[in-house]
């Protein structure tokens, strides 16, 4: 991790004091637990709000034993770290307290005393009993899922009691979760989060002066859903969500591109049908594509008809 020492577990220094490397390091670290059980040294400052309780965090970490060069535990070699929920996926009490003291982008070094790490028994064979461990943690991002989960558990009537900004915030959080899951190629799980966001936005009525905020939020979710269904190899559904996005913004480049991929999807299905002409799934998907495309072209024709009818009647903007 950038900004850290090469071998944090084997800290160099003068041994004349008779203190161990971790004891010397602890003298310049900040106590965040109140009993010096969790000590912190910031390597790189972060920005924004502190991590909230019950949040889901995206972190890189490495754990070291004293006098050892290599970490006994690390996720820094993974291409994409997984999202971990505080109180569920993180088992070290010291790490949870440490994360609650961090901001996005922050890189910090922590010392965890045994009571905040692996206890009196340790974790054989790697961790001896009563061992103080050092962790370097980089907070890449976090999402406050507790607020979203509680809100989504309410009935529609209860949700209506909250201001619009609350609904928009929860919908944005759900979409952010979906984006993270999409980047992890967990497309089915991403779809579930996006649909939760869309349901919140569909259920909420807004006054005319604020409706544009709801429509803007819907547009982003619809584009995400369209792309996700393409990844799930369900082009007919992808086309449907793309069309809904175009209703909000007819010139949206992403929506036009998603719908444009319809033809590509159809070409693949036709090729598949040639190989397996009696495949029920392939034939049904082609029927769905044809139906959605007919609906789309019918809407286009109807709109063009209204435009030309208005022109033929001599109607122009601003004239009676």
218-250 confidence digits (pLDDT tens): 999 999 998 899 888 887 788 888 888 888 887
Flag whether pLDDT at 4 surpasses 50.
Answer: no
Summarize the confidence of residues 258-268 as an average pLDDT: 59
Summarize the confidence of residues 244-262 as an average pLDDT: 69
* Confidence band, pLDDT 50/70/90 cuts, at residue 316: very low
Which two three-digit tokens encode residue 132?
Answer: 């103080």
- Residue 249 is predicted with a pLDDT of 81
Flag whether pLDDT at 20 surpasses 90.
Answer: no
pTM of the complete model? 0.60
Q: Among 4-8, 71-75, 104-108, 227-231, which range has the highest average pLDDT?
A: 104-108
Range with the poorest average pLDDT among 23-27, 98-102, 293-297:
293-297
Of residues 67 and 106, the one with the higher pLDDT is 106
- Residue 238 is predicted with a pLDDT of 84
- Residue 210 is predicted with a pLDDT of 84
Summarize the confidence of residues 88-94 as an average pLDDT: 90
- Partners of 84 in the beta sheet? 57
Q: At what angle do helices 211-231 and 235-248 cross, to 10 degrees?
A: 160
Residue 6 CB: number of other CB atoms within 10 A? Answer: 6
- Residue 29 is predicted with a pLDDT of 97
- Residue 67 is predicted with a pLDDT of 85
Of residues 245 and 71, the one with the higher pLDDT is 71
Q: What's CA 211's distance to the chain center, in Å?
A: 26
How many Å is the Cα radius of gyration of the chain? 28
Q: How many whole angstroms separate alpha carbon 216 and alpha carbon 223? A: 11
Summarize the confidence of residues 248-264 as an average pLDDT: 64
Phi, psi of 70, deg, nearest 5: -95, 145
Over pLDDT 70: what percentage of the chain? 79
- Partners of 138 in the beta sheet? 60, 107
pLDDT tens by residue, 130-173: 999 999 999 998 887 777 888 888 888 888 888 888 999 999 98
- Residue 320 is predicted with a pLDDT of 39
Flag whether pLDDT at 310 surpasses 60.
Answer: no
Phi, psi of 271, deg, nearest 5: -60, -40
Phi, psi of 166, deg, nearest 5: -65, -45
pLDDT tens by residue, 179-208: 988 988 888 889 999 999 999 998 887 778
Q: How many whole angstroms separate alpha carbon 46 and alpha carbon 107? A: 7
Closest to 110 in 3D by CA, of 25, 44, 182, 183: 25
Q: How many whole angstroms separate alpha carbon 34 and alpha carbon 297? A: 67
Q: How many whole angstroms separate alpha carbon 53 and alpha carbon 87? A: 8
Q: How many whole angstroms separate alpha carbon 120 and alpha carbon 181? A: 38
């Amino acid at each position: 991790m950038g900004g850290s020492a090469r071998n944090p577990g084997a800290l160099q220094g003068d041994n004349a004091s008779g203190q161990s490397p971790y004891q010397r390091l602890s003298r310049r670290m900040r106590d965040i637990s109140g009993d010096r059980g969790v000590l912190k040294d910031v390597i790189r400052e972060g920005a924004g709000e502190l991590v909230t309780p019950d949040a889901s965090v995206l972190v890189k970490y490495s754990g070291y034993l004293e006098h050892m060069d290599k970490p006994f535990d690390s996720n820094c070699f993974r291409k994409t770290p997984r999202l971990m929920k505080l109180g569920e996926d993180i088992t070290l009490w010291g790490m949870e307290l440490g994360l609650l003291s961090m901001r996005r982008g922050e890189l910090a070094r922590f010392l965890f005393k045994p009571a905040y790490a692996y206890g009196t028994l340790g974790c054989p064979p790697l961790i001896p009993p009563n061992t103080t461990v050092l962790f370097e943690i980089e907070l890449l991002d976090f999402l406050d899922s507790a607020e979203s989960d509680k809100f989504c558990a309410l009935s529609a009537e209860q949700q209506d009691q909250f201001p619009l900004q609350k609904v928009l915030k929860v919908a944005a959080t759900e979409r952010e979760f979906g984006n993270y899951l999409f980047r992890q190629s967990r497309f089915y799980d991403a779809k579930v989060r996006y649909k939760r966001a869309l349901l919140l936005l569909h259920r909420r009525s807004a006054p005319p002066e604020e409706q544009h905020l709801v429509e803007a939020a819907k547009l982003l979710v619809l584009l995400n859903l369209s792309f996700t269904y393409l990844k799930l190899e369900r082009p007919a559904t992808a086309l449907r969500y793309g069309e809904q996005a175009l209703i909000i913004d007819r010139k949206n480049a992403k929506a036009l591109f998603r719908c444009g991929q319809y033809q590509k999807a159809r070409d693949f299905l036709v090729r598949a049908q040639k190989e397996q002409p009696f495949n029920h799934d392939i034939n049904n998907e082609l029927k769905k594509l044809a139906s959605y495309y007919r609906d789309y072209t019918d809407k286009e024709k109807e709109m063009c008809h209204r435009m030309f009818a208005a022109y033929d009647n001599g109607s122009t903007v601003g004239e009676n």
